[in-house]
Each structure stands twice: as structure tokens, then as C-alpha cells.
Amino acid sequence: MQGVLGCRGCAAEFRIKDGVPVLVGGNVDRLKTETAARFAEEWTRWTDLRPYYEKQFLGWVAPFTREDFVGQVVFEGGCGKGRHAELVARFGAKDIVSVDLGASVFVAFENTRHLPNAHIVLGDLTLPPVKPVFDLAFSVGVLHHMPRPEIGASSMAAVVRDGGRVVYWVYGLENNEWITRFVDPLRRSITSKIPYRALRALSAVPAALMWAAIKLVYRPGPDGKGPARLPYGQYLSSMRGFPFDELELIVFDQLVTPVAYYLPKAEVERWFAGPGFEDVQVRWHNQMSWTATARVRREAAAPGGAREGVTGPEAAAGPEAAAAPEIPGPGRSPAASRTDRDPGLVGDA
């Protein structure tokens, strides 16, 4: 499926490649494109969707439930292979538009092409090529891989209508300090640079150790909860039914990226400072990551702020987004210093 989209407001044209609109300009930050390309190595090889993804997703976005997506116009920041876009479309969203910068969008399209309410777009999350018409915007496991996570969070809030909601899931610094101290130097200097085949072989070693620990030690109790006395008890016990290659994927996912930040709760809370948000909640998930939810109040933001009132770094999309056609379908600045938000490595929490 090939074609061209034309902007109604100017002469700009954007191609459709293999069913995916390519709505991105040529001035994308090198680190963002490098990160997207490394993750594309992952999602173009682990392409299938698995039944336990729904439980994982609902854990990450809680207190949101399936019902919160029904009839909603939804924006997803970073879609990978489309695992969450497919779920939200099946939950009954009116439409979901999922934006990602990497070649994984073509896998996501194949995984969702049977769903008429799912729309996959190749674009830059910090310059989302859409209008602020969305009822709900979510991002799971993406913002902490951006060079400046607070800009990604602000840009996502900028596409939500007044009264709409956002939910973000990100790595937490709390309880993960040892990883940033001991594992991160290995990821930054070696694993994020080595070829895919070598990295997959390397990933099998810690995956095997994780698999053995889960099977032998991390048994859930009668209440279904993991052993509280052990580190990452709930997290590791929740993966007891995963096949070995899913553990490989989790390890690979964290070793492959050139950017991974662990965010302290205070920094996540700063994303929602100011009058543009209400009903803010930041929940500790599995005692190792953060789920943040809030309601967007556009009219409460300062006059002259970015994109109809939602404030924050780069909330205004800029020339590239202004030239992009409308999609079919309905913090702190600068970022916290690297000393209090160290890059790091951890499995999906």
C-alpha cells in the first residue's frame, strides 16, 4: 500500500510507505533516530503479539482499565510492534493513532491492519503531526528512552483536548540505583553498540539466570503476589508463565538502547507542575517504576503558552508539524541533570 498525503494548508506532501504515512521532516535529532533504529532491530525480529500482553499493559496503565478506552480517540507515543495499539483498538477505542520514529511501524501496521480504528504513523513524538483533539494519550516504556523525557511528556499532553487525560509509564530510579551504578556503564559503552546477532547471544546469558531464579525462587504465594522479602519479588514472579524467548526480549530491550533514564518520582511530578493539569497521580508500580496520570486543562494554562494553552518544553510542534496533514480519524526544562537522573538498565516492570 503506497501513496501520498497532501497538506490542505500548504504544498507539502508526505509519502505513504507500506501502509504507513511518513510524517517526519529531515531535521530529526541524531540520538533519537539512533535509538529508534536500535529498537527497530528488536521489533522486526520479535514480531508476534502474545496473550499475556494485555495483563502487562493494564498493570502499567492502572488505574486505567479497558473501559477507559471505549469510544475514545486515543494517541499513543511510541508503538514498537503495535502490541498496545492492537489492544486499545480491540478494547473499543473509536480511533487510536500510534506514532513511532523507527522502522518498527511497519511491523505495527501488519499487526493492526485488520483493525479499522488503528492508525500507525511514522513521526517524531516531540513534533506530533496531529491536532489537539484526543481524549486520551498514553506512552508505555518510551519517554525514558528519549534524550529529554520531559519534552516527550509535554508534547503528548499538547495533543490532548481540554478535559482529556494522559497516562505515562516510565522506569523509576528508586530501588534501581544499583543498576545505574554498575550496569549502565556496560550498556552505554558496549551493548548499545554491538551488532544484533551478538547482542541476542549475549542476552541469553542473563535471561537464563533470570529464568532459573523465576522458576526456583520467585514463586507467587496463595494470594498471587510475589515474595515480598526478595528484591523485585512482584515483578519477577509476574513473569513465571513467560516463555524463555520473552525473557531474552526483556534483556535485549534494555541492552540495545543508547538512551535509558531512571526517573525519580520528584522529576515525574514536575512534568505536571503548573495550571495545565489536575487530578495528578504518580503511582509506584512493582516498587521499581512510575505510572503517572493526569487530566489536561488547556484553558487554565497561561495565555500565549504552547499549543492552545498546554505548557511545557517544545509543546508547540513547530514548522514540521504545522506542515503535516491531519491524521485520518477523529517538566523541567532543561531536563534534570544526569547526576540525579542517571541512564540505566532494567527489564520491563
* Residue 226 and residue 156 share a domain: no
* Residue 281 and residue 158 share a domain: yes
User: pLDDT per residue over 33-52, tens digit each?
Assistant: 777 667 767 777 889 999 99
CATH of the domain at 62: 3.40.50.150
What is the pTM assigned to this prediction?
0.84
Q: Is residue 24 part of a domain?
A: yes
- Residue 5 — very low, low, confident or very high, per pLDDT cuts 50/70/90? confident
Q: Which residue has the higher pLDDT, 335 or 82?
A: 82
* Residue 119 and residue 35 share a domain: yes
* Residue 169 and residue 30 share a domain: yes
* Residue 204 and residue 136 share a domain: no
* Residue 78 and residue 45 share a domain: yes
* Residue 212 and residue 295 share a domain: no
Name the domain count of the chain. 2
Q: Is residue 347 part of a domain?
A: no
Q: What share of the chain in percent tops pLDDT 90?
A: 62
Q: Is residue 28 part of a domain?
A: yes
* Residue 280 and residue 158 share a domain: yes
Dist. CA 323–CA 321, nearest whole Å:
5
| pLDDT over 60 (residue 294) | yes
Domain termination site, one of 239, 255, 271: 255
* Residue 86 and residue 130 share a domain: yes
Q: 307 is in which domain, residue-wise?
A: 3-173+261-323
User: pLDDT per residue over 148-205, tens digit each?
Assistant: 999 999 999 999 999 999 999 999 999 999 989 988 889 999 999 998 889 999 999 9
Picking from 16-30, 44-58, 94-108, 273-287, which range would have the lowest pLDDT averaged per residue? 16-30
| pLDDT over 60 (residue 320) | no
- Segment 66-91 mean pLDDT: 97
Q: Is residue 179 part of a domain?
A: no
What is residue 23's predicted lDDT score, i.e. its pLDDT? 87
Domain termination site, one of 235, 255, 275: 255
